């Protein structure tokens, strides 16, 4: 029960990693607000949680919506923010539109900035914690994945920069860099077009059965948000079955 009475906001909680993280925090005593674009998915997540969460549909692409979400979740204070909402679209770069590039940056990167900025005044009061979701695509280039990799490199930069700026205020800020995770995003159909699978498979995990389950990643969110990680800030934690080992 590491989070007894703690107030935790989890975005992207209608599916995958966000859902598993919300379930885990609730199981350890947290009072959880779950948020996502997908209101139906949020209800399905709530049904799996040990305690009834506060449910807030919102749109990460919309700055006002992000700010309103944080204001609602932090009405009685906020201890932990888990930024997990995100989208992936990939494919041959010469066929990739600027509109898709901009949307990926808005949802994966700008929203993380907005959420952190809105939450930080509350987290300074509580000596709280932010855990962002980057990716192995934050740490290396990935063919056909220019927009997503740019968006996640941005999350890594936001995480490290904020960690330095807010360390003296007692707020810890880290990011998790998963490799392949067994979620709707992780298992999305490959893009149409001319793809060299040799380049794509450079990103295969090394462990036998090295793909992660959402619950594996949720454990890392809980660790980083716990006192066990009290000396950890500005760090990018890979959980990738050895993908980036070489
Ligand atoms: N699955 C993987 O292999 C993998 C690997 C590395 C990083 N990640 C990251 O993990 C995070 C969670 O992904 P997942 O694998 O659980 O995928 P998922 O598709 O299961 O969940 C993503 C959630 O984000 C929500 N979302 C999308 N756009 C939104 C918006 N505009 N506003 C609010 N919510 C929105 C979706 O509705 C969905 O519930 C993402 O940031 C993703 O980039 C995933």
**What pLDDT, in 10s, does the model give residues 138-164?**
999 999 999 999 999 999 999 999 999
Cβ–Cβ under 8 Å, residues 44 and 20: no
38 CA closest ligand 1 atom index: 37
What is residue 183's predicted lDDT score, i.e. its pLDDT? 98
How many C-beta atoms lie closer than 10 Å to residue 211's C-beta?
A: 18
pLDDT at residue number 189: 85
Give the CA dihedral 138, 192, 204, 188, nearest 10 degrees. 80
Question: How far does CA 113 lie from the centroid of its chain?
Answer: 12
For 7-245, which CATH class? alpha beta
**Is 37 close to ligand 1, i.e. is its CB under 6 Å away?**
yes
CB 178 within 8 A of CB 152: no
Index of the ligand 1 atom closest to the CA of residue 41 = 39
Could you tell me how far CA 195 lies from the centroid of its own chain? 27
Q: How far apart are CA 217 and CA 186, in angstroms?
A: 13
**The tokens of 108 are what?**
């994966």
What pLDDT is stored for residue 146 in this prediction? 97
Whole-number Å distance between alpha carbons of 76 and 199: 49
What is the pLDDT at residue 140? Answer: 94
The enclosing H or E element of 236 equals strand 236-239
pLDDT value, residue 184: 97
- What is the predicted pLDDT for the residue at 8? 99
Q: How far is the CA of 208 from the centre of ligand 1 (A)?
A: 25
Alpha-carbon gap, residue 91 to 28, rounded angstroms: 40
Strand partners, 175: 132, 236
Confidence of residue 187 (pLDDT cuts 50, 70, 90): very high
CA distance 103 to 82: 21
pLDDT attached to residue 231 = 98
Taking only the tens place, the pLDDT of each residue in 47-106 is 999 999 999 999 999 999 999 999 999 999 999 999 999 999 999 999 999 999 999 999
């Amino acid at each position: 029960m590491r989070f007894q009475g703690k107030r935790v906001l989890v975005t992207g909680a209608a599916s995958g990693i966000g859902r598993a993280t919300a379930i885990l925090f609730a199981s350890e005593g947290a009072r959880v607000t779950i948020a996502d674009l997908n209101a139906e998915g949020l209800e399905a997540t709530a049904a799996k949680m040990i305690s009834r969460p506060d449910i807030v549909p919102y749109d990460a692409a919309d700055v006002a919506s992000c700010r309103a979400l944080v204001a609602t979740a932090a009405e009685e204070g906020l201890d932990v923010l888990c930024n997990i909402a995100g989208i992936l679209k990939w494919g041959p770069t010469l066929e990739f539109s600027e509109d898709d590039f901009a949307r990926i940056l808005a949802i994966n990167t700008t929203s993380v900035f907005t959420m952190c900025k809105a939450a930080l005044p509350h987290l300074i009061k509580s000596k709280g914690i932010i855990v962002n979701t980057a990716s192995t695509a934050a740490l290396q280039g990935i063919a056909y994945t220019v927009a997503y990799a740019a968006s996640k490199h941005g999350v890594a930069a936001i995480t490290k920069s904020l960690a330095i700026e807010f360390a003296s205020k007692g707020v810890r800020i880290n990011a998790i860099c998963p490799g392949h995770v067994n979620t709707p995003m992780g298992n999305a159909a490959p893009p149409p077009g001319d793809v060299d699978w040799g380049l794509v498979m450079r990103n295969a995990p090394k462990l036998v059965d090295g793909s992660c389950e959402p619950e594996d990643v949720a454990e890392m969110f809980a660790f980083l948000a716990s006192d066990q990680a009290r000396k950890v800030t500005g760090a990018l934690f890979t959980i990738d079955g050895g993908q980036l080992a070489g």
